[in-house]
Amino acid sequence: MSLSGHVDHLVIGAGFAGLCSAIKLQEDGETDFLVIEKGSDVGGTWRDNTYPGAACDVPSQLYSFSFAPNPDWSMSFSPQPEIQAYIQRVARESGVLDRFVFDTEMLSADWDDTAQRWTVETSAGTVTSTTLISGAGGLSAPRLPQIDGIESFQGEIFHSARWNHDLDLTGKRVAVIGTGASSIQIVPELQKVVGHLDVYQRTAPYVMPRGDRPYTRLERQLFKRFPAVQKLYRRAIYWGRETFVPGFTLEPKLAAPAKRIALKNIEKGISDPELRQKVTPTFEIGCKRILISNDYYPALDSDNVDLVTEPIAKVTGDAIVTADGVERPIDVLVVATGFHTTDLPIAEQIRGREGRSLAETWRESGMAGYKGTTVHGFPNLFFIVGPNTGLGHSSMVLIIESQVAYIREAIRAMRVNQYAAIEPTATAQQRWNDDIQRRMKRTVWNTGGCSSWYLDEHGRNTVLWPRTTFKFRELLSRFDVAAYDVTARTDERIPA
């Protein structure tokens, strides 16, 4: 399909964020929109992360749309195929799929201040749009490690988010670089099939017990027949999770019981005292993402697994060499080194009112926006999962729904008041971010003694939201036009 012409709204990405935007735009009678997606299907994260063991680490009851409950979740933490099937089903049933253009990448977007619209180059042609809604994802672009000689490796190498399912790993010598959220799901699965597994750890994470269980048939029937019961159940999980916030943001001592549980998990899962020592974190719990697993530690304790904590010096044609000179031969290298988070590729592609890209703007002072959603200098741009919207304790779908609610309010205000363009003022944006960074100072992410992917090159946490999710929802519940510069419409292209 080739693209041309004008749409009122152009949405980038078909993950939870893009899909939520499409459904809610349609609900509001905004029918002139397109969603472009560089992949071949909806799902985003859940289309791409198909590695063995992939599952959510926030309970599925909460890690799903509030407006599309799923009584059929099989487990409290559902596996990837089920989440992907859920997103596909919601997309199908909501009747928005004819607005989606797959296998189409946004290459650049430039704000045209004369025409008051975005000119968007895509791999399928050029379109213009009144608003640009980015649902391009915060954990979407794989980050590859910069290791000497890695390009000379002759075996198979792939990122955890680009799993090579054609490769039979049975009996192979495999290395996994990284011990983050994806790695701890992958390692136990690999341990069962590979000949030998080396796990390269830079920093030991805290790993709590997973608390996973299958839902009984009775529970599922109950959810189906009495949706109010499922709603109550979801609410209980929601409030349970919100109680974690003070431990992260106000007083790390409140997280002491969680720390004890995580340390007990090491004792329970590992018998070798030296290995226990290696996996014991040296920073405060919560400073880096808290992980959950019942089988990661036992897998590390297995005979066919080595945890390597010596830094990697280089990769050769068939081995990894650590700083102490030890060479460990391998057939397959899995890089589980996360994603570009504070240097989002899409930020390079979007150029605002002054012709500067978001990336250029953000390189100077770090990622910043107003309410995590709009950005000064970038009129009519809405950025879902934008600066300081990430969570350490709960479901990102809650954040996405709050942001989409705000975007709907903004679009309604544009229609009703005949605004051609809206843009947050520099003052409003500055005030918003000053408040966030002031709150950040007290959080465990800044004081906990770790370096994490939450922090940018200036040491600022521009990824996480330092308050409760209900506060976020409240603050984004209405479009506050006083914080915006608005440009009145001079043509009749989009009547109210």
Ligand X SMILES: Cc1cc2nc3c(=O)[nH]c(=O)nc-3n(C[C@H](O)[C@H](O)[C@H](O)COP(=O)(O)OP(=O)(O)OC[C@H]3O[C@@H](n4cnc5c(N)ncnc54)[C@H](O)[C@@H]3O)c2cc1C
Contact residues toward ligand X (CB under 6 A) are: 12-18, 36-39, 44-45, 49, 54, 56-58, 63, 105-106, 135-137, 139-140, 182, 346, 384-385, 395-396
Nearer to ligand X, 62 or 320 (CB): 62
Q: Which two tokens stand for residue 310?
A: 């010596």
| Token reading at 309 | 């904590």
Helices 217-225, 227-242: crossing angle, 10 deg rounding: 110
Q: Of 39 and 329, which CB lies nearer to ligand X in the complex structure?
A: 39
* Residue (78 or 320) nearer to ligand X, CB: 78
Please count the residues of the chain.
496
Tokens of 370: 């107003």
Residue 3: closest CA among 179, 155, 125:
125
Strand partners, 419: 488
Q: Please state, in angstroms and rounded to a whole number, the distance separating the CA atoms of residues 404 and 43.
A: 17
Residue (of 161, 393, 166, 197) closest to 306 by Cα position: 197
- Closest to ligand X by CB, 8 vs 48, is 48
Bridge partners of 305, per DSSP, are: 197
**How far apart, in whole angstroms, are the C-alpha atoms of residue 367 and residue 352?**
15
Q: How far is CA 194 from the centre of its chain?
A: 29
Q: Interior CA angle at 67 toward 218 and 15, to 5°?
A: 105
Backbone phi and psi for residue 285, each to the nearest 5 degrees, phi listed first = -65, 135
HSE on the CB side for 463, CA within 13 Å?
A: 26
Backbone angles phi and psi of 109, in degrees to 5 = -140, 125
Q: How far is the CB of 402 from ligand X (least distance, A)?
A: 13
Q: Work out how close the CB of 26 gets to ligand X at its nearest, in angstroms, rounded to a whole number.
A: 17
Q: How far is the CB of 171 from ligand X (least distance, A)?
A: 26
Cβ-based nearer residue to ligand X, 58 or 150: 58
Residue 217 DSSP SS3: helix
Q: Which lies closer to ligand X via its Cβ, residue 196 or residue 357?
A: 357
**By C-beta, is 87 or 321 nearer to ligand X?**
87
What minimum distance in Å lies between the beta carbon of 430 and ligand X?
Answer: 26
**Least distance from ligand X to the Cβ atom of residue 47, Å:** 6
The residues, any chain, with a CB within 8 Å of residue 25's CB and separated by 6 or more, are: 9, 11, 31, 33, 408, 411
Of 61 and 319, nearer to ligand X (C-beta) is: 61
Q: Tokens representing 145?
A: 């490690």
| Structure-token pair, residue 487 | 């440009």
Query: Is residue 316 within 8 Å of residue 153, measured between CB atoms?
Result: yes
Nearer to ligand X, 13 or 247 (CB): 13
Residue 55 CB, shortest distance to ligand X, in Å, is 8
CB of 218 to ligand X, least distance (A): 26
Based on CB atoms, which residue is closest to ligand X, 43 or 155?
43
Question: In which residue are the tokens 């009129």 written?
Answer: 379
